[in-house]
Amino acid sequence: MKDRNKFFIKDLNLYYGTFRALINVNLNIVEKKVTAFIGPSGCGKSTLLRCLNRMNDLIEGVKIDGVVALDDTDIYGDIDVIKLRTKVGMVFQRPNPFPMSCYDNIAYGPRCQGIKDKATLDELVEKSLKQAALWDEVKDRLNKSALGLSGGQQQRLCIARAVAMEPEVILMDEPTSALDPIATSKIEELMESLKEDYTIVIVTHSMQQAARISDNTAFFLSGEVVESDITSNIFTKPRDKRTEDYITGRFG
Ligand SMILES: Nc1ncnc2c1ncn2[C@@H]1O[C@H](COP(=O)(O)OP(=O)(O)OP(=O)(O)O)[C@@H](O)[C@H]1O
């Protein structure tokens, strides 16, 4: 099947006050693939990720120019931002379950959207937890606090919570950086299965992780996307000397 672009990013610049954090970014994000953003600390990976569901709108002093289109619609045009964030869900670096039961964590978003029917919610909770590979571990403790889960389980719960909103894209900002290697490999396996249904964009500090899980990789440096390509090309035959220096560990 031919690749289809989910996001189209053209000449994007982002300023925090007078500081230009993204510089003329041009990038396509392919549908139903995993795209990794890599690069040294402070190079703009999270900033670009947050542009994709307008999370930067919440930061004072941010100015953006250029185009970010989702399925051909400019998301910085006159659109419903709440709807956008429903379509483009997000999972953060530290697991952040709400201080409520596992069940209520998942049902929270759908309830806010007006779904009240218990059977419908039950089904959605089960389906989301299954998709996040957590159902077997929590099915007997759905009514207990989510805060009693391990860190890795909490992160999968947060992924289930994102999935329950039936998004099209899931943004993940260093989703495994607070987790141990076993929990990390569970999340990595999970991403492999989630990409059948969702477009995934992940910021990661780990080049090994990007190489393991992503189909496409974009390499960032000082606010610019230096190079983006299929992941194997980035790691075996980068076109730009700066990418090569980074992946061979010469800096960063
Ligand atoms: N809210 C903010 N206000 C001002 N400057 C910011 C803000 N957020 C990020 N920056 C600056 O923008 C630049 C890019 O930051 P960003 O967090 O996007 O980088 P990153 O590549 O994700 O870094 P890391 O890998 O360390 O998470 C940095 O210089 C950072 O200091």
Q: Per residue in 96-149, pLDDT tens? A: 999 999 999 999 999 999 999 999 999 999 999 998 989 999 999 999 999 999
Give whole-number Cα distances, 139 to 68, 99, 107, 120, 126, in Å. Answer: 40, 18, 14, 17, 8
By DSSP bridging, strand 34-38 and strand 216-221 are parallel
- Closest-CA residue, ligand 1 atom 6, reads 16
Identify the helix (H) or strand (E) that includes residue 123: helix 118-131
Measure 18 CA to ligand 1 centroid, in angstroms.
Answer: 14
Which pLDDT score, from 0 to 100, does residue 2 have? Answer: 78
Which pLDDT score, from 0 to 100, does residue 140 have? Answer: 97
Q: Per residue in 191-223, pLDDT tens? A: 998 999 999 999 999 999 999 999 999 999 999
- pLDDT value at 250 more than 90: no
- Closest-CA residue, ligand 1 atom 23, reads 42
d(Cα 85, Cα 66) in Å, to the nearest integer? 20
Which pLDDT score, from 0 to 100, does residue 252 have? Answer: 52
Measure 108 CA to ligand 1 centroid, in angstroms.
Answer: 30
- Number of domains observed in the structure of the chain: 1
By DSSP bridging, strand 199-203 and strand 34-38 are parallel
- Closest-CA residue, ligand 1 atom 2, reads 16
Pocket test for ligand 1, best of 23, 45, 51 (most atoms within 8 A of CB): 45
CATH number at residue 206: 3.40.50.300
177's CB contacts (< 8 A; 6+ apart) are 93, 205
Measure 110 CA to ligand 1 centroid, in angstroms.
Answer: 32
Which pLDDT score, from 0 to 100, does residue 180 have? Answer: 87
Query: Which range has the worst mean pLDDT, 3-7, 24-28, 184-188, 224-228?
Result: 184-188
Measure 41 CA to ligand 1 centroid, in angstroms.
Answer: 8
Measure 39 CA to ligand 1 centroid, in angstroms.
Answer: 12
Q: Identify the sign of the CA torsion 198, 201, 207, 209.
A: negative
Q: Which structural domain, as residue segments, surrounds residue 27?
A: 5-248
Q: What amino acid is encoded at 54 in this protein?
A: R
